[in-house]
Structure 1
Amino acid sequence: MRRAALAALALLLAACGAPSVPPGPPVPAPGEDTCGASPYTGLVGRDGTALERVLIMRQVRVIRPGDAISEDLRPARINFVIGGDGSIARIYCG
């Protein structure tokens, strides 16, 4: 009985893990670019440190592997997803 309770607890804790970044194309589609991300499409594939050299005068969130992210939707926010290799893997609004 104790093992079953521990197994159930482990499953519940695993379900509470950090949400994953939504899959999708590397950059927003033109009709979905509510945050003005299109000027930054050239950053996809570059090292994540490239963001340090770009002045972005709008709401930005950088998501690195293992980061816990909130699920609040902000259409004007640009999200930069950094891949496991340290490069910018995806840019999306939200």
Structure 2
Amino acid sequence: MMRAVIISTLVVGLAACQGAGTAGGGAEFSDVCNARAQQDLVGGRIADMASLAVAAPKVRFIDPGDSVTQDQQPDRLNIVRDGNGVVTRVYCG
């Protein structure tokens, strides 16, 4: 029982880190863009654009079908939205 709890905790912790790391989920986890503090955006729609400008000077929205450059800018906050405008992922890069 205790082993299952520990494994579940580790899985949840790793999943939380993936959104705040690099786009590819690599070993280098950077939070220069303040993505960890913006994780509460996941599951909702962006209502206050001004607060995002304060959180990160560079913000990129990625919607379904968008062409996205593969350049890495650690200070850029990437916000991925689904077809309904709901945020599905927030990460630096």
Task: State the TM-score bracket (shorter-chain normalisation).
Answer: 0.5 to 0.7
Residue deviations 1:21-80 (CA, integer Å, cap 9, x gap) = xxx866315x53221112211110002x42536342311100110011111110110000
- Please name the residue that 1:78 is paired with: 77
Higher-Rg member (1/2): 1
RMSD in angstroms over aligned alpha carbons? 2.3
Question: Which residue does 2:37 correspond to in 1?
Answer: 39
Aligned length: 69
Aligned to 1:60: 59
Gaps of 5+ in 2: 1-14, 22-28
Give % identity.
Answer: 36
1:27 to 1, 11, 19: 19
8 A Cα contact 1:82 1:89, kept in partner:
yes
> Could you tell me the TM-score, scaled by structure 1's length?
0.60
**Matching residue of 1:87:** 86
Residues 62 and 81, structure 1, Cα contact 8 Å, conserved in 2: yes
Provide TM-score, normalisation by structure 2.
0.60
